[in-house]
Chain A
């Protein structure tokens, strides 16, 4: 089944404790992206990747890191999480940058 998977689905952590949210797709898509969703703000792009080893900042990259060492994986790293990073996070992929995106199920992160 073609899909985008994210892990974990739910995470509660404390300020400053490094964490990684994994994202994987099995559709051989070139383009992958991370978003955060906050009430009243819609989805905002954090980082995106056009292909392996190519990443770029979206609208809200501060406090996040990403890497794209393999085509299928695009992990999101929070080196020192803060409470304002409490949010619902979505990973998405598309065949190329010009196609529609397919979204993972979301990761709900709470930073206390």
Chain B
């Protein structure tokens, strides 16, 4: 079974609007971490935001917030006020602490921001 599922291969959003990128995960661990990374067309991987499985509040970092719904095993990324520079691939990832800190990535969502 896939550990991380991102069901939106590609998305469009109008500049200045908010967008939600979906991510669901599969783990039996009690302790895990969830991450989002951005990969622009230049290829580098940029860390955006982190949510721990025991964190009760949703994580926020500037325009990025993580909508963490533990019972549903979802960790959606919300980008507010989209900018042209947000056009990139976005990857959801999970670290299983109880499983020797192995990391799993989803297949990614390509976001295009339209002017």
Cβ-defined contact, A97 with B105, below 8 A: no
Taking CB atoms and an 8 Å cut-off, the chain B residues in 1-52 that contact chain A are 4, 6, 33, 35, 37, 43-45, 47, 50
Check: B72 CB closer than 8 A to any chain A CB: no
In the docked arrangement, what's the CA distance between A82 and B14, Å?
43
**Is A59 on the interface with B (CB-CB < 8 A)?**
yes
Instruction: Kindly list chain B residues whose C-beta atoms are within 8 Å of the C-beta of A11.
Output: none
Interface size class of B (residues with CB under 8 A): 20 to 34
A-B contact pairs, 30 of them (CB 8 A): A33-B103, A35-B105, A40-B107, A41-B107, A42-B6, A42-B91, A42-B105, A42-B108, A43-B45, A43-B105, A44-B105, A45-B102, A45-B103, A45-B104, A48-B101, A48-B102, A48-B103, A50-B100, A59-B104, A92-B45, A97-B97, A98-B33, A98-B97, A98-B101, A100-B35, A100-B47, A101-B103, A103-B37, A103-B44, A105-B43
Complex Cα distance, B33 from A31, in Å, reads: 15
Report the bound CA distance from A106 to B100 in whole Å.
24
**Which chain A residues lie closer than 8 Å to B105 at the CB level?**
35, 42-44
Interface residue ranges, B against A (CB under 8 Å):
4, 6, 33, 35, 37, 43-45, 47, 50, 91, 93, 95, 97, 100-108
A90-108 vs B, Cβ < 8 Å mask (1 yes, 0 no): 1010000110111101100
Q: B95–A106 contact, CB under 8 A?
A: no
The minimal Cβ–Cβ distance linking B45 to chain A, given in whole angstroms, is 4
Contact A100 B91 (CB under 8 A): no
Give the CA-CA distance A88 to B47 in the complex, in Å.
18
> Considering the chains assembled together, what is the distance between the CA atoms of A4 and B37 in angstroms?
16
Quick check: B44 and A56 within 8 Å, CB to CB?
no
The minimal Cβ–Cβ distance linking B35 to chain A, given in whole angstroms, is 6
Determine which of A33, A48, A102 lies in contact with B47 in the assembled complex, contact meaning CB atoms within 8 Å: A102
* Interfacial chain B residues near A41, Cβ < 8 Å: 107
Q: Are the CB atoms of B107 and A42 closer together than 8 Å? A: yes
Question: Is there contact, CB below 8 Å, between A31 and B101?
Answer: yes
